[in-house]
Chain A
């Protein structure tokens, strides 16, 4: 890792790490007796550990100019392994939380292990840990291949990857200590949020600098999505996290917004975290790895233009459908509902474009579990975007809101779409990155596929049943015109579904363990002979190459 940095980059790395360790020590001093101090210690420890890593390779010979004839893939490799580590943590904690809802005593009499604190550990580990690292890792890979240009330097990709993971660690350890803003999917406190902005600006700069040096005149569709992901997440993150800390030595802050304005800002953020983090970024993955793996060009270029701008423009209006029948003014609710329904058009255009791309390659879908992961992901994308538009309609939302139906919908998206497209892309990219003939075991990919699919189906069906049952029980009247069921009656009816959901989650977790083992064994096997047929290197001259390659 360090040996690939130039001498100048090694100096910069030392400078950044020394500054970061000083920041950590200052936080430690200012935040004595507060979680802020503990986080200072974590920052300082991480920075000092990295200083030792840099020193150990500091005097290694500098990489020669021949490095510029190859893509820079080491940050992508590290990102994929880190992503799978977060998947292990996030899925384990998620399934633990699921069992807790059926058996609430399956935990310790300690604050950190309480359901309310470990639940955000699950959501953050999956969305930001697993999903975010996979996005960063694949975006670097895709960006270089589709521009035929190498990443601009060796240091900034590592800064983005490791800095981003520092954010994730601060967030997750914070929840265990009770540090949270309570904003869903934006729980991390003010100092972690500021750090993420620094990391994110660097990430965007890498994108622009690589695009500026591209040897392809056109910017490929996948990069539009990765760029929309980076830009929109920056906007959402900065606005929703505006807050005033109680002091510069405390973790606690108070949001700039309150009540109805805060609710609208939060769900503008929350819904578009789904749109631009969990959809746009992963569509970037889909638009590169699915056609590559299928060996077919994207079905329609025009369809991808329509769906891209539709998603980028319309999604931002849809957040208020989380607030139907609340104290939010009705005109905002109506706008949110209208745009949510319109959103079905670009969403299905994307899903259809992906599935039509497989025309002529269906025999590969049958035989190749990696491609099947991506195909099923596109189907779940279509299903959950239809479900989302449907649930955004006010009278439907009257029934579905506040129930497990929402949880089922989210997991149809997160497990069926986000995780499956990620696993498919990882299985495609790992042999390419590590220069292996194929994954260690095709049968283990097959096993993972069926575990993941059955786990997702059990989970989603359990939550559809429980959610609709709940919603109906809450609004059922008896003959004398009073409510037929107490809240506790509806809770008792949930237990069988909660157990089924936990079993579904367990299957999904087992599948991911199989996947991690398979990836690990692939990395450990001997490299294959370089394939001469498919050159995988940046274009050094201005040679024109086929788009989409």
Chain B
């Protein structure tokens, strides 16, 4: 064995090939089957996609690095289920490019934070976390309320997501910018076709409390309020049994 190696280390190309082969096997065995084995992701027909406003909120969540301190993955452990709710299913992040499972909880898990607090609480908390949670060490995000949301490119975002496998329709892509505005400015002449495109359960309101304009705060709160609510598969008894 060592004699063989004695010859191998005299051959640069041989060494390169051996390294590539040795280093490829593990990833290939563990990753490739995840795309081919059907049971990897549960089959859930009612799983819906993010609206353009929620997607914009998700991108703000990514941009501000929220994932570094908040996980979105409730593990199959009793204390986590009792603290945060039913454990996370693979299907719940099926349309998440990329996933935001996170690796650290400097703050609590957010996988099921949607609907847990009021919009007013989220707005106050994001502007200054210590106003509502005095011992909090979360950064303040006051500027989100001052910054108008950029909606004109949202169609491009939906289109790119369709290319990587999220089922956005032509109709959704064409109306992306208007849908984002309508979801956060309900007084502005109705919601258009928003509920037809994304379902009756779509939450339509001035998330930041101000219906006169659409801010980044609107988008982020809309996203936080949908977390864990894209499907109710995790609450069904069949899932509980697993």
Question: A interface vs B, CB < 8 Å?
Answer: 100-102, 104-105, 107, 109-111, 114-117, 119-120, 175, 178-184, 208, 211-212, 217-219, 224, 227-228, 231-232, 235, 239, 244-247, 250, 252-266, 268, 276, 302, 305, 309, 312-320, 322-329, 332, 335-336, 339, 398, 401-403, 406-407, 470, 474-475, 477, 482-483, 487-488, 491-492, 495, 498
Contacts and interface: CB of A to CB of B under 8 A. Distances in A.
B30 A231 contact: no
Contacts of A217: 10
B12 A219 contact: yes
B23 to A, nearest CB: 5
B30 to A, nearest CB: 5
Interface string B9-34: 11011011001101111110111001
B160 interface: yes
A221 B109 CA distance: 45
B103 interface: yes
B68 A317 contact: no
Contacts of B235: none
Interface string B35-62: 1010111000000000000000001001
Contact of B138 (A104, A111, A254, A470): A104
B164 interface: yes
Given A120-B65, A259-B99, A265-B31, A114 B77 contact: no
Given A119-B68, A182-B62, A326-B75, A104 B140 contact: yes
A261 B23 contact: no
B104 A407 contact: yes
A302 B1 CA distance: 10
Interface of B: 2, 5-6, 9-10, 12-13, 15-16, 19-20, 22-27, 29-31, 34-35, 37, 39-41, 59, 62-69, 71, 73, 75-77, 79-80, 82-83, 87-109, 129-130, 133, 135-143, 153, 156-157, 159-161, 163-166
Candidate in B25, B103, B108, B133 with the most chain A CB atoms within 10 angstroms: B103
A252 B15 CA distance: 38
A339 B23 CA distance: 13
Given A264-B31, A483-B82, A101 B137 contact: yes
B41 A259 contact: yes
A339 B65 contact: no
A313 B139 CA distance: 41
A254 B161 contact: yes
A268 B30 contact: yes
21 contacts: A104-B136, A115-B139, A116-B66, A116-B69, A119-B68, A180-B65, A184-B103, A231-B23, A244-B160, A246-B159, A257-B97, A258-B97, A261-B40, A268-B26, A268-B31, A325-B76, A402-B109, A403-B104, A407-B104, A474-B80, A487-B108
B34 A305 contact: no
Contacts of A491: 107, 135-137
Candidate in A227, A258, A302, A315 with the most chain B CB atoms within 10 angstroms: A258
